[in-house]
Amino acid sequence: MNVPRLGVNIDHIATLRNARGVGYPCPIKGAKICQQAGADGITLHLREDRRHIKDTDVYAIKQAISIPMNLEMAVTDEMLAIACDVRPDWVCLVPEKREEVTTEGGLDIINNEKLPNFIKTLQSSGIKVSLFVDPDTAQIDKAAALGADAIELHTGAYAEAWLACDDEPLVNEQVKNELMRIQKAVAHAKKFNLLTNAGHGLTLDNVAFIAQIDGIHELNIGHAIIADAVFVGLDEAVRCMRQVFLDKVALLDG
Ligand code: PXP
């Protein structure tokens, strides 16, 4: 079984920086530390309100790293122009609401008239396109029909179920149901040969059961790694997350 790639989302380094309106901690330095610690990619979300990552960060990080950059963004003309100028390796299209604390659900790609041309424009600029969707077969069918290069499954409901349960997570019905939804979605995406990533709310505690799903290509993890970094440092936090992936896959292969 393949070990999933680890994409580290560095948005919350910028959240901390912006809390004081100063230049530190620097997300560019953070991206380089993640790369050195074994991250397979760097993810960043340029939000419409620029609450964490700023336009200058996007350009600087593209220059600073040699691993793939994954730019998360909303389906807007402003973001399309920036992406086509920066040319990240990947763009992940996400829904965005100004008042939300974080991305609350997958993008509904079934009823989005803008998407076909949007995806084509990005792809013709040499950018691969991933669609952040809920683990739902109808969304996956549509992602394949749209010619996306990958999907990223929203694992937020699984993570929330994990946090909400006060018994052993793996015997908790809600956790088991959400895990099963993700497993089924990964199996469904395999039929189309769609690269399948996942992310949102993943932590050292809950990630192993997602990392062990055969067919998961990459996991994008932000908040938990940056939170762990407060206590152990960013290098160690990235290495620990990566080690969980390696241990879980070694256990299954053994
Ligand atoms: N993947 C996508 C598409 C996201 O929008 C986010 C949050 O920005 C993440 C992964 C990372 O989520 P978390 O910060 O909860 O690990």
Instruction: Tell me the fold of 5-253.
Output: TIM Barrel (3.20.20)
Q: Ligand 1 center to residue 200 CA distance, Å?
A: 4
> Is 201 touching ligand 1 by the criterion CB < 6 Å?
yes
pTM as predicted? 0.96
pLDDT of residue 146: 98
Q: Ligand 1 center to residue 7 CA distance, Å?
A: 10
Cβ contact 114:93 at 8 Å: no
pLDDT in tens, 183-219: 999 999 999 999 999 999 999 999 999 999 999 999 9
* pLDDT band of 100, cuts 50, 70, 90: confident
pLDDT of residue 132: 98
Q: Which of 6, 102, 225 to mutate to test the pocket of ligand 1 (most atoms within 8 A of CB)?
A: 102
Q: Ligand 1 center to residue 146 CA distance, Å?
A: 23
pLDDT over 80 (residue 252): no
Catalytic residue IDs = 45, 72, 200
> Is 7 touching ligand 1 by the criterion CB < 6 Å?
no
Q: Whose CA is nearest to atom 6 of ligand 1?
A: 200
As a whole-number percent, the residues of the chain with pLDDT over 90 amount to 89
Domain boundaries, the chain: 5-253
Q: Ligand 1 center to residue 254 CA distance, Å?
A: 31
Q: Ligand 1 center to residue 193 CA distance, Å?
A: 23
Q: Which atom of ligand 1 is nearest to the CA of 226?
A: 14
> Is 92 touching ligand 1 by the criterion CB < 6 Å?
yes
> Is 154 touching ligand 1 by the criterion CB < 6 Å?
no
